[in-house]
Amino acid sequence: MDEVVIIGGSFAGLSAALQLGRARRKVTVLDTDLPRNRFAGHSHGLLGHDHKPPLDILAEARQQLARYPTVKLVNARADSISGTIDNFFVLTGDGESLGARRLILSYGVADQMPDVPGFAESWGTSIVPCPYCDGFEVAGQHWGLVWSGPPSHNYVKLYHDWTDTLTVFADGHDIAPDIRADLARRNIPVVDGRITEIARHGGHNATVKLDTAPNVAVDILFAHPRNKPSASLHESLGLATLDTPLGIALKVDERRETSTPGIYAAGDLANPAMASVTTATSHGATAGIFAQQSMLVV
């Protein structure tokens, strides 16, 4: 029996495995090698790895984990989970049953792309969600923001640290008059009409095509489509969730433990509103440390 099985081997899961491996705990990490940020050319904000391709960072992390004999990386999907604390069982897609005292769920989320030609193809390059991840590289340029609801007003204020040139695309949303007045005060134009296509022009540049207005070219387009967990294991376990503006998140406490004792969650699955490799790495390490401490002999 493993002491911990980690489901999801991207930044959060591997960070948890590192802490547990250094504590000489027996760990198996299950992963299908489909990290959320695989579409991005570079990852930013992670100390020591700034501006490296995210897949390269993960490959290096796996190599480093090889020096810990108690950590095992397995390319497999987790199909089901049963049991309770100190006696969990994970059935993999290969038909293997793994026993574990603790579980860490870090299988992330999947972004739900709108049915707009060119949107999915531009995701991670011309269309991005996070200014902390990509803002510095396009600072001072013409940004676009696809309005997705009231939280978008906060993004407008946030982006000011990076650029003074921003265009808002209403994309069929009703923007309240007081918010429109505030945008006008900030000299931020609002383009009404629905987006019909995104034309990418290499690098970050994109042209936004609309049904009732002329095309608008921007240097980078920010958008926040809703997302959903990449698997449904938390549903079968009955774990408590939170409905955030971006999607469903697992509810965790300060130790990253879910509503079921012995099951921890980290990464975008438990924090989709702050989707970055920095927070995923931090929360993954926290989950690993507290999972280890929960098994101490008293």
Give residue-wise pLDDT tens across range 89-105: 999 999 999 999 999 99
Give residue-wise pLDDT tens across range 129-159: 889 988 999 999 999 999 998 889 999 999 9
Amino acid letter at 227?
A: N
Give residue-wise pLDDT tens across range 25-75: 999 999 998 776 676 777 787 888 888 888 898 999 999 999 999 999 999
More confident residue, 33 or 266: 266
Cα angle 35, 41, 46 (rounded to 5 degrees) comes to 70
Average pLDDT of the residues in 4-22: 97
Residue 239 has pLDDT above 90, yes or no: yes
H-run or E-run covering 235: helix 233-237
Please measure the distance between the N-terminal and C-terminal CA atoms of the chain and give it in whole angstroms: 21
More confident residue, 240 or 274: 240
The pLDDT value recorded for residue 297 is: 82
The pLDDT value recorded for residue 275 is: 66
CA distances (Å), 25 to each of 195, 247, 280, 289, in order?
A: 51, 33, 21, 11
From the number of C-beta atoms within 10 Å of its C-beta (0-12, 13-18, 19+), residue 141 rates as: middle
Read off the tokens for 241.
């969730």
- Taking alpha carbons only, the member of 235, 298, 293, 232 closest to residue 25 is 293
The pLDDT value recorded for residue 65 is: 98
Cα angle 190, 196, 198 (rounded to 5 degrees) comes to 85
51 φ, ψ (degrees, to nearest 5):
70, 25
CA distances (Å), 291 to each of 28, 70, 277, 278, in order?
A: 14, 15, 21, 20
Grade residue 23 by pLDDT with cuts at 50, 70 and 90: very high
Find the DSSP H helices in 54-176. 54-65, 119-122, 131-134, 151-159
Average pLDDT of the residues in 187-212: 92
pTM: 0.91
| Cα 184 from Cα 180, distance rounded (Å) | 6
Read off the tokens for 106.
């870090």
